[in-house]
Amino acid sequence: MGNLKFDINLITKDQQIQNILLITNHLHMKSVFTLKMFLYLVLFVLEGSLNAQVADQAIPDQEHNPRKWFISFTAGVGISSIGSQMEDALVKSGFGDTKITEWNIIIASFTTTEEYPKRTNSIVPWDMEIRHSLSAQRALALTFSNSYHAKVNGYNFFKNGREHYLTLDTRVMLLSMDYIFTLPDSYSGFRIGPAMAIHRVTEGGPTMVAQSNTTIKPGLSFGFDLALFEKKSWFMAFSFGGTWIPPVSVGPYSKEDSYVEDGQLETYTSTFKPTQINLSSVKIGLTMGWRL
């Protein structure tokens, strides 16, 4: 593959700042500070990439590893409070009751209890990355991350056996563009850059048709990689990374059923209240990749 090139107009810092202000004012975003920071990071990454390519032109190609492209896959362990925040929100909204079931058989009767809310984590976080070496000590990477996926279940009990279940399936995916300061001709290095989080919440239950809501938030990506093995065509590395994403609003979700009781219509309503959920997370993992 040939060298990666960027066509960036050389404008002054003042002009860049004015452009950022115009964009943020036009979008009328609530979190103007977050968007400004995101755009500053984009400028930082693009300008750093251009400067690294200009500096690299003065160094003969034979002094670098000729393989400038990397493709890698990372899997590991993530640390996030998203699931516990969703459970706390269910409890505050009344979906933290205990389900009691009575069982009667021919010779005995007994009861079982089931505590709510319940959570099931259903994914190991993983990343797919494409990286281009801009110089012996600079690189640019585009990364897609399947960061978090869990399902939380709530239960709200009313008199006379009336009840509501609520299931919320929450998933976070990330797209980041990182500028990387590497050791000479090595995969090891420190990274930082803008990130975009895609947060999807799907509401469901035993008797419901699933409905999804998706929120996109800009943020910050950072981390470092430590090469464990580096061969001519492949490598293995230890990876640590994190993302800072501003909170997103989840909810409200409502359940309502009506029944005729003692000749009167009774309505039972359960509502998951709007809640701010923090999407920030960190992860550690093992990376396996190839140099092209």
Specify the pLDDT at position 211: 79
Strands (E), 136-210: 138-157, 163-182, 189-204
pLDDT 10s digits, 68-102? 899 999 999 999 999 999 999 999 999 999 998 88
Position 15 confidence tier, pLDDT thresholds 50, 70, 90: low
Tens digits of per-residue pLDDT, 227-274?
999 998 999 999 999 999 999 999 899 888 888 888 888 888 999 999
pLDDT at 120 over 80: yes
Q: Which span out of 46-60, 202-216, 247-261 was modeled with the highest average pLDDT? A: 247-261
Q: Can you give the pLDDT at residue 10?
A: 44
Segments making up each domain of the chain, as ranges: 65-291
Lowest mean pLDDT segment, chosen from 147-161, 165-179, 277-291: 147-161
User: What is the C-alpha separation between 180 and 60, in angstroms, rounded?
Assistant: 21
Mean pLDDT (whole number) for 50-66? 48
More confident residue, 84 or 59: 84
For range 209-220, the mean pLDDT: 87
Instruction: Give residue 173's pLDDT band: very low, low, confident or very high (50, 70, 90).
Output: very high
Average pLDDT across the chain, whole number: 81
Kindly report the length of the chain: 292
CATH of span 65-291: 2.40.160.20
Q: In the prediction, which pLDDT does 59 show? A: 42
Cα→Cα distances 273→83, 94, 213, 249, 253, Å: 16, 10, 15, 10, 7
Plot region of 160 (φ>0 → left; ψ -120 to 50 → alpha; else → beta): left
Q: Using pLDDT thresholds of 50, 70 and 90, give the confidence band for residue 57.
A: very low
Helices (H), the chain: 13-27, 32-56, 82-92
| pLDDT for residue 40 is more than 70 | no
pLDDT at 14 exceeding the cut of 80: no
What is the rounded CA–CA span in Å between residue 40 and residue 20?
A: 8
**C-alpha torsion angle, residues 129, 133, 137, 142 (rounded to 10):** -30
Say what the pTM is: 0.74
pLDDT band at 212 (very low <50, low <70, confident <90, very high): confident
Q: What is the pLDDT of residue 54?
A: 46
Sequence letter at residue 163: E
Range 170-174 average pLDDT: 95
**Angle in degrees, 0-180, between the axes of helices 32-56 and 13-27, rounded to the nearest 10:** 140
DSSP character for 66? S
Whether residue 49 contacts residue 134, with contact meaning beta carbons closer than 8 Å, is answered with yes
